[in-house]
Amino acid sequence: MSRLATGGRLDRSRPTSFTFNGKHLSGFAGDTLASALLANDVRVVGTSVTQHRPRGIFSAGIEEPNALVQVGPDPMLRATQVEIIDGLDAIGLDGRSRLSAEPDTGRFDKLYAHCEVLVVGAGRAGLTAALAAAQGGDRVIVVDEQGELGGRLLSGGWDDWLKDTVGQLSAMPDVRLLTRATAFGLYDQNLVLIAERRPDGGRLHQVRARRVVLATGAHERPLIFRNNDRPGVMLAGAVRTYVNRYGVTPGRRAVIFTNNDSAQALANDLHRAAITLEATVDVRAGEAIVDTRASADGSLSGVVIAPLVGNGRAREVECDLLGVSGGFNPTVHLFSQAQGRLRYDAGLACFVPEASLPTVEVVGAASGDLSGRGQGTIMPYWLVPGEDDDWSMHFVDLERDVTVADVRRALGAGMRSVEHVKRFTTIGTGSDQGKTAGINEGAIVATQLGQPVGAVGVTTFRPPYVPVSFGLIAGRNRGDLFDPIRLTSIHPWHVAHDARFENVGQWKRPWYFPRDGEDMEAAVRRECHAVREGVGVMDVSTLGKIDIQGPDGLKFLNRLYTNAFDTLPIGMCRYGLLCKADGMVFDDGVVMHLGLDHYLATTTTGGAAAVLDWFEEWLQTEWTDLQVHCTSVTDHWAGVAVAGPNARAVVSALFPSIPLDTASFPFLAVRDAELKGFPVRLHRITFSGELAYELWTPNWYGLALWESVIEAGEPLGITPYGTEAMHVLRAEKGYIIVGQETDGTVTPQDLGMGWIVSKKKEFIGKRSFRRADTSRPDRRHLVGLFPVDGNELLPEGAQLSLESRTDPPIAMVGYVTSSYRSTTLGRTFALALVERGRERIGETVFAPMPDRLIAATVTEPIFWDKENRRRDS
Amino acid sequence: MLIPCPWCGDREDSEFKYGGAAQVAYPQDLETIDDPTWARYIFIRPNPKGPMAERWVHTAGCRRWFNVVRDTVTHEIKPIRDHA
């Protein structure tokens, strides 16, 4: 064991047992996995990612590039950040981690908060700023990534001050102290995202702060020399942390290698911990470590020391611990994310914030005040040449296994920018994001090119500052809670009758209703047959509905829709088409004229929100003089479509007092009625081409209406049908679906719907029909397709060609938009957009498949009841 | 990003939908304008680096359209009065 008898911030009354690589070990409450491993003399934690070199613990914090472990389902954690608890089971990474195949059972939540001052980092500077702000009456939130407030103070000194300050802050009602919480992103207007680690999951805090104080400290950086990656080579400050905070001796015989004053404090700590200081190698004294030696397990057994200049003799010193300090890099990640500018400070040998931003202040070590870290005088120094010109064991990025040789290769290939070198070498792209490597990369590029370090600069700091799990970002929005689910009031009936559902936007719609073990094809065949020969019933509640009221309603509709509504009397409805200003089809639906200054427009199920936005945009930004109000009433109405030759009999059984003959209740008529005391609106509308009625009732009565229809239709074998049968039926009739036959590049004329485009009035998109592009003769037209083999089903989306071959290149003339098996037609059929399609009726087109060619005959895009006899019967 | 809705105050950008450049008037003389003029209205919008007048709609709030000037570099937003 390498545990000191006393000292450290551990609770020695609470021993904690854990396993590492299957071995049972123990530590104390307050230990990290890293400190507990060191206390158990575990020096090799894993192997590196590409070179498979043994690697140990390099740091004592978030910047750790080496000691990566897998803990349960978490594939890659830093041993320096994992707090040990009883039963913890950790595995050192053997190169790469493995993703768990099990679902993540962690619990993640999101919290939102506002404050005047958010302090990131609870070291001396952060706590000082927090106390000042809180005493001034501000609401203050303090976040710190460690399990305890104090930052570097936890590694030695200032104990009384820390206790007193934390005590004061804890007692203040408007101060929130968050530990184990890493601020990983600083976004516009001071939105700070904070990942809080919890025993079984985590919390994502989204804090909006009037002012952000960054007290994020500084990361010590290593000097680079040959074989600098051996277990036992450690940042000097980390050695201090293990000795002082965890009461651990990470070695017995130590050497210090430095270019600044900070290691002085380490020498004192080593002395107190009875670790022998074998040598202090200081580049300022003209010496450097040029190589290291390893013992059998690959860990450090000695160092080779040589003068920096001249041919002085190298000497070897045996040791098992090497504390390295190459200076400090202010932790400017969040500051840079906020677009703060950095400058290179030659005296400090690091990049510091040029100035605080209006609402983002940088304090303490992060601002370049390195007095707390004891840097003192520093001799800028980065890279120790080896004894020959071999740079393949000078590691720059330990996590990515990138060496100086790789950087030289990048420069040899002509790269000069640190951004290019980063991407070529992968320096800084590991899960540590190069916290100990990035600045060194720039410095090495500078030294190799003979340029000043400040001129070469640093790579961009992007969020997140630490790896963030998808679970944390998703929070509770998983599974059924991923997105809102919208259900119609008739939904329970569908569930009880074994409907299969399909997602349409956020709605769950019945897709088909299988009976007695039917597969989808059989069920759809039966449902289609029922509508064509008997009667079917469908839940159409999901249609978008916009209530339009006001004296200018008619004018408004006329300006929006391609067709006019002047001749639409009250009590009738009309199909309408909407285009965007570019003349492309945007949505369609039915407009009902309900009363004086009162219309209701239906939209596609998926387009409801976009259409309302579109209406509001014109009302509010262009036609501000129009007196019109639009209200979404999609959820106010439940809708039941009754379709088929027997539809009249069913509806008439429910509403015996309403004459339904065509003369009294023609196609597109609307009537208000009552059923069992609740209101029902009857519309004679069809989307199948059959005689059909849509019955609407306030949503509350939807299920009652549906059940009444089912009951009344029972003697006639009424058949519930789903969206798949609806698709087949409407395609047989050549009715388009916006978003399936159209994709934002299709005009009404392309669809053969020129009849619905008014020549007389002005409307949105009209001007575009005179553009050269929309009048091209070679535009794609909507046509029908009959595969030559009536059993062959064309895949939707299949490209179409006039050439009967499968070897590319093949010129394409269009693609299949809808394709079904039709029981009505006794064969397969499709709709397609085909170049000059209307001129090609009767011709053959070909769909090249990977293994064959499907030939199809071009037809008119209407396959059933062209004369509308059934619709109007 | 916080967007100042003139009716609801500062709200998260996730509550809004973007409406592109502001102050792009719908052409009046549709019968007479030539194709290039119409094409400019349909397809061409400013894309400056720096302050840009643009439209937003508070979709998940009051559903009102309004204009702001947003700096496309810093995301600093200033309200403007003209809501056309």
User: What confidence tens digit (pLDDT) does each residue in A582-612 have?
Assistant: 999 999 999 999 999 999 999 999 999 999 9
Tell me the two tokens of residue A699. Answer: 């949503």
User: With left for phi above 0 and alpha for psi between -120 and 50, is residue A479 left, alpha or beta?
Assistant: left
Q: Which residue's structure tokens are 């549906």? A: A706
pLDDT of residue B78: 85
Per the CB < 8 A criterion, the answer to whether A574 and A565 are in contact is yes
Q: How confident is the model at residue B82 (pLDDT cuts 50, 70, 90)?
A: low
Instruction: Nearest by CB to B35, from A189, A616, A772: name it.
Output: A772
Tell me the two tokens of residue A451. Answer: 């340029």
Task: Write out chain B residues lying below 8 Å of A483, CB-based.
Answer: none
Chain segment A620-675, per-residue pLDDT in tens: 999 999 999 999 999 999 999 999 999 999 999 999 999 999 999 999 999 999 99
pLDDT (average), residues A282-310: 95
CB–CB of A189 and B1 under 8 A?
yes
Predicted confidence (pLDDT) at residue A99 exceeds the cutoff of 90: no
Helix (H) or strand (E) holding A492: helix A491-496
10 Å Cβ neighbour count for A114? 12
Task: Write out chain B residues lying below 8 Å of A771, CB-based.
Answer: 35, 38-39
Indicate the average pLDDT of chain A: 96
Task: Write out chain B residues lying below 8 Å of A360, CB-based.
Answer: none
pLDDT (average), residues A755-781: 94
Rounded Cα distance, B43 and A350, in Å: 48
Mutate: best of A579, A620, A761, partner B, most B CBs <10 A:
A620
Sequence-separated (6 or more) residues with CB below 8 Å from residue A197: A180, A181, A182
pLDDT (average), residues A683-693: 97
Sequence-separated (6 or more) residues with CB below 8 Å from residue A520: A500, A511, A512, A514, A724
Q: How far is A580 from chain B (nearest CA, A)?
A: 10
Chain segment A803-836, per-residue pLDDT in tens: 998 888 999 999 999 999 999 999 999 999 999 9
Query: What amino acid is encoded at A391 in this protein?
Result: W
CB–CB of B30 and A767 under 8 A?
yes
Residue B55's closest chain A neighbor by CA? A621
pLDDT (average), residues A181-205: 95
CB–CB of A581 and B41 under 8 A?
yes
Q: How confident is the model at residue A100 (pLDDT cuts 50, 70, 90)?
A: confident
Tell me the two tokens of residue A841. Answer: 């009726």
Task: Write out chain B residues lying below 8 Å of A616, CB-based.
Answer: 57, 63, 65
CB–CB of A621 and B41 under 8 A?
no
Q: How far is A632 from chain B (nearest CA, A)?
A: 12
Per the CB < 8 A criterion, the answer to whether A535 and A646 are in contact is yes
CB–CB of A767 and B2 under 8 A?
no
Q: Which residue's structure tokens are 């611990």? A: A321
pLDDT of residue B81: 63
Residue A464 is given by DSSP the state -
CB–CB of B26 and A622 under 8 A?
yes
Rounded Cα distance, A53 and A181, in Å: 32
State the burial class of residue B14 (Cβ atoms within 10 Å of its Cβ: 0-12, 13-18, 19+).
exposed
Rounded Cα distance, A658 and A540, in Å: 22
Rounded Cα distance, A40 and A249, in Å: 10
Query: What amino acid is encoded at A143 in this protein?
Result: V
pLDDT (average), residues A247-259: 97
Percent of residues, chain A, with pLDDT higher than 90:
94
CB–CB of B65 and A617 under 8 A?
yes
Q: How confident is the model at residue A231 (pLDDT cuts 50, 70, 90)?
A: very high
Chain segment A315-368, per-residue pLDDT in tens: 999 999 999 999 999 999 999 999 999 999 999 999 999 999 999 999 999 999
Instruction: Nearest by CB to A768, from B42, B65, B75: name it.
Output: B42
Q: How far is A611 from chain B (nearest CA, A)?
A: 12
pLDDT of residue A165: 97
pLDDT of residue A808: 86
Residue B77's closest chain A neighbor by CA? A189
Q: Which residue's structure tokens are 């004086």? A: A596
Predicted confidence (pLDDT) at residue A767 exceeds the cutoff of 50: yes
SS (H, E, C) A534-589: CCEEEECCCCEEEEEECCCHHHHHHHHECCCCCCCCCCEEEEEEEECCCCCEEEEE
pLDDT (average), residues A53-78: 94
pLDDT of residue A310: 78
Tell me the two tokens of residue A404. Answer: 């100086």
Percent of residues, chain A, with pLDDT higher than 70:
100
Given the cut 0.90, state whether the ipTM is greater than it: yes
Task: Write out chain B residues lying below 8 Å of A187, CB-based.
Answer: 1
pLDDT of residue B84: 46
Predicted confidence (pLDDT) at residue A62 exceeds the cutoff of 70: yes
Mutate: best of A206, A473, A621, partner B, most B CBs <10 A:
A621
The beta strand positions in A188-232, using DSSP E, are 191-198, 201-214, 218-220
